[in-house]
Amino acid sequence: MRRFIVGLLATVGALTLLAVGGIAAFVFNGPLASRSLPPSMVLSIDLRSVPSETTSTDVLSGDLWRGSRDLTETLQLLWRAADDPRIVGIYVEIGDESAGLARVQELRQAILRVRGKGKFAIGFAESLGGGGDHFADYYLATALDQIWLQPSGGFAVAGLAVDTPFLKAGMDRLGVHMEGGKRYEYKSAPDTFTETGMTRPARENLQQLIDGLFGQFVEDVARDRKLPAAKVRQLIDQAPFDSERAHTEGLVDRVGYRADAMNEVMQRAGTTQDIVTLGDYASDVGRSKTRGDVVALVRASGTISSTTGGGLLDDASGASSDDLVDALDDAAQNKDVRAIVLRIDSPGGTYPAADALADGVARARASGKPVIVSMGDVAASGGYLAAVRADVIVADPGTITGSIGVFGMWPVASDLLTTLGVRVDRVSVGANAGMYSPYRAPTASQRAAIARDLDAVYADFTRQVGDARKLDAAQVDAVARGRVFTGIDAKRAGLVDELGGLQLAVSIARAKAGIDETKPVEIQRFPADNDRWQRIFDRVLRLTGIDSRGPELRAPKEVRETLARFGLFSHQGNVRLPPLPPLWR
């Protein structure tokens, strides 16, 4: 009976997925399929929400189905548009004031490349800097050759502010305190729970970081808007003010509504009257696919852990070192791949998982293929450790990186339980059993053991950095102890090799692999986008007790036979989906 039920569930799941695939094939290849684009057009891009590093498989929220694009694909489309003779210019909707600065810098570089090809770039914003503590929307807008601002919107770009709550006093009142430790004084993440305010080292480091980011913003805005840097700082200090003053001071080019901006776009386009969205441009059936030497792209986005959680229809936000190492291995073994680019956007994670990913990078390099790391908004702590063994590390100027350190903490609510009259008894064996319990504080000897563990992790982390970056002990100490840096400061400190974005990383990978610079390269993702469906399929199978990952699959004979009928059981013993149309495009 059990085998019958398992086989039935697998059959129903397979039929459901095949039905979805059939519907998708009809939608994307039938009468609703996209058609070739006009011979001359304006590309319209909505950046009111700056694309994230990756697109999730959250079916319930629609992420798997909607037409949104991640940062990598958006950048590739802009790179293509720059060289596409059919594109005469771009129109951009601006409005994401809190986007990560490294992503904004990547988009700025892509827009400036479009302009460098002699094409116009016009943008419209309803308002700029409405939150008053960030400047991402205006920073992105200044890459355009003409900025339109709605009359009622105003200019409220007032600088950069970071608020940090400190919970210790409140937790003390509740009878809860934190146990654990950190290495060392600049590793400020735990301070929220262990301090009543910013420590001197933490304040010093954070101030240096935001001064550096704001300095990059001022320098780039001053250059692009042809204003003195001192004038830009003065205007920021006087904000907020209305749209007319923003125009008078040269911060924007025109004041008007979206329709006015579109009229300007049509005038600049001349005889071209066709406007296409980024989605239409991406699905252009008249475009020949780039063929050439393959550069693999592997992306690590989110907190690094050994496995990624999530429900049946949703991936948790995180980077699984198991999956990433598999992707690196696949790319290294693929005979068509000439080089590998590892894109990292991660604040860190567990030390073993980050170390495993770093080892995966080293093994991919050992295969003879260069591995280039491209850092996104943040590549800190474990995110930096994962990068350290690459051939070349590329960071955006605004990438937040470093944080070479470690911490481990957990709450202990013994006082709260006493106040509530709750008694917790324990039966244990082993001197340190229960040392991480939330019910009672560790003993002095247990605290010493925890401290030794933190010291060991920190020593190994700093050793790996020193070995990989060829830094002596004094240099490692100067960049470690939990300090964070901008990409610019990290390069000065020897933590990264080059400043730039994903395109620079691909160019370096091409050069390292000996690919002729006149030949096209094909950027191929590992794992492929179709694996989003595979991950959902794997979860469905695991509900029936089947692990479809790896050659060690042991499924009941009835299940194997059922899946084989639909071509879903490979000769290696894996359960794999056939290729499906990319519904998320």
pLDDT score of 309 more than 80: no
Quote the CA–CA distance of 312 and 186 in Å, as a whole number.
39
Work out the pLDDT band at 61, boundaries 50, 70, 90: very low
Phi, psi of 82 (to 5 degrees): -60, -35
pLDDT value at residue 131: 78
For residue 100, give the nearest of 130, 121, 66, 71 by alpha carbon: 71
pLDDT value at residue 319: 87
Quote the CA–CA distance of 204 and 212 in Å, as a whole number.
12
Q: Do 125 and 147 form a contact (C-beta atoms < 8 A)?
A: yes
Determine whether domain 41-158+239-282 maps to CATH 3.90.226.10. yes
| Distance (Å) of CA 73 to CA 69, 124, 250, 307, 346 | 6, 22, 33, 25, 19
Quote the CA–CA distance of 248 and 239 in Å, as a whole number.
14
Work out the pLDDT band at 306, boundaries 50, 70, 90: confident
pLDDT value at residue 563: 56
Q: What is the dihedral of CA 326, 329, 333, 334, to 10 degrees?
A: 60
Summarize the confidence of residues 267-281 as an average pLDDT: 92
pLDDT score of 34 more than 60: no
| Distance (Å) of CA 456 to CA 318, 351, 449, 469, 483 | 26, 11, 11, 20, 19
Where do we find the tokens 């397979």?
A: 14
Phi, psi of 301 (to 5 degrees): -125, 125
Quote the CA–CA distance of 233 and 217 in Å, as a whole number.
10
Work out the pLDDT band at 65, boundaries 50, 70, 90: very low
Name the least confident of 13-22, 256-265, 404-413, 492-501: 13-22
Q: In the chain, what percentage of residues exceed pLDDT 90? A: 73
| pLDDT, mean over the chain | 86
Q: Do 138 and 221 form a contact (C-beta atoms < 8 A)?
A: yes
Kindly report whether the peptide bond that precedes residue 240 is cis, defined as omega within 30 degrees of 0.
Answer: yes
pLDDT value at residue 210: 97
CB within 8 Å of 135: residues ≥ 6 apart:
97, 129, 157, 159, 160, 214, 217, 236
pLDDT value at residue 60: 46
pLDDT score of 549 more than 90: no
Between 3.90.226.10, 3.40.47.10, 3.30.559.10, 3.40.50.720, what CATH number should domain 293-409+437-525 receive? 3.90.226.10
Name the least confident of 81-85, 433-437, 464-468, 567-571: 567-571
Beta bridge pairs of residue 295: 339, 523
- DSSP class per residue in 350-382: -HHHHHHHHHHHHHHHHTT--EEEEEEEEEETH
Give the angle subtended at the CA of 507 by the CAs of 375 and 120, to the nearest 5°. 90
pLDDT value at residue 15: 58
* E strand residue ranges, 10-51: 41-47
- In one-letter notation, the amino acid at residue 139 is Y
User: Is residue 530 classed exposed, middle or buried when 0-12, 13-18 and 19+ CB atoms within 10 A define those classes?
Assistant: middle
What are 102's two structure tokens?
Answer: 């490294």
pLDDT value at residue 409: 93
pLDDT value at residue 64: 47
Q: Specify the DSSP element, H or E, that contains 410.
A: strand 406-412
Work out the pLDDT band at 581, boundaries 50, 70, 90: very low
Expressed in angstroms, the distance from the first to the final Cα of the chain is 42
Mean pLDDT comparison of 326-330, 430-434, 536-540, highest-scoring range: 326-330
Confidence (pTM): 0.85
Sign of the CA dihedral running 491, 497, 500, 501: negative
What stretch(es) of the chain map to CATH 3.90.226.10?
41-158+239-282, 293-409+437-525
pLDDT score of 578 more than 50: no
* Residue pLDDT, tens place only, 352-374: 999 999 999 999 999 999 999 99
Summarize the confidence of residues 486-511 as an average pLDDT: 97
